[in-house]
A = this chain, B = another copy of it.
């Protein structure tokens, strides 16, 4: 395969990912259609399968972008906050997470709605992005609990991430909550604030 071919392949992949992302963002993962994507990207239906394994792979690529954006947003939220108390930093990051989820609800949901656990193949970038996210949480936690060992810290990191994720998830699910976003912020602060009271 010539260099030009690889280049065109890459360009088409990009066009397809952009098209898929726009569709998902606008109308949700469930309404993504191969034929729509193809016409958005200005290629034939079959062309999708020349550059991607299947639709799932396209969505995974979209999820990759989303995950990177999410990571950036969370990291930036505490970038210049070295002097802020660790509990506050946790709350700030969680609020960044909440607002990203609220502003890109459909893209954010796609991160978790796409099932991939079935065949056990989780791509490396997914695990890496998750590790990065966890690392940002573990840091303030290590300040709050300087005596905890690595395993305990890891467990607490996962516990808190999961808690915040759950609050955001159900908070944005209007069938369950119908709670305005400021209330969701308060819920996060409540749970994290209690943890921050040390032992």
Contact = CB atoms under 8 A, between A and B. Distances in A.
B176 A130 contact: yes
Interface stretch (A33-41, A71-79, A185-193): A185-193
Chain copies in the assembled complex? 2
A159 B190 contact: yes
The A interface is mostly helix, strand or loop, or mixed, namely helix
Nearest to A31: B118
A102 interface: no
Contact of A187 (B130, B158, B177): B158
A165 interface: yes
B126 A186 contact: no
A160 B191 contact: yes
Interface string A41-72: 00000000000000000000000000000000
Interface of A: 30, 115-117, 120, 122, 126, 130, 155-156, 158-167, 169-171, 173-177, 179, 183, 186-188, 190-191, 194-195, 197, 199
26 contacts: A30-B115, A116-B175, A117-B173, A117-B174, A126-B175, A155-B190, A156-B190, A158-B170, A159-B188, A161-B170, A162-B166, A162-B167, A162-B170, A162-B171, A163-B164, A163-B166, A163-B167, A163-B191, A164-B166, A165-B169, A165-B170, A166-B166, A166-B167, A169-B169, A191-B191, A197-B197
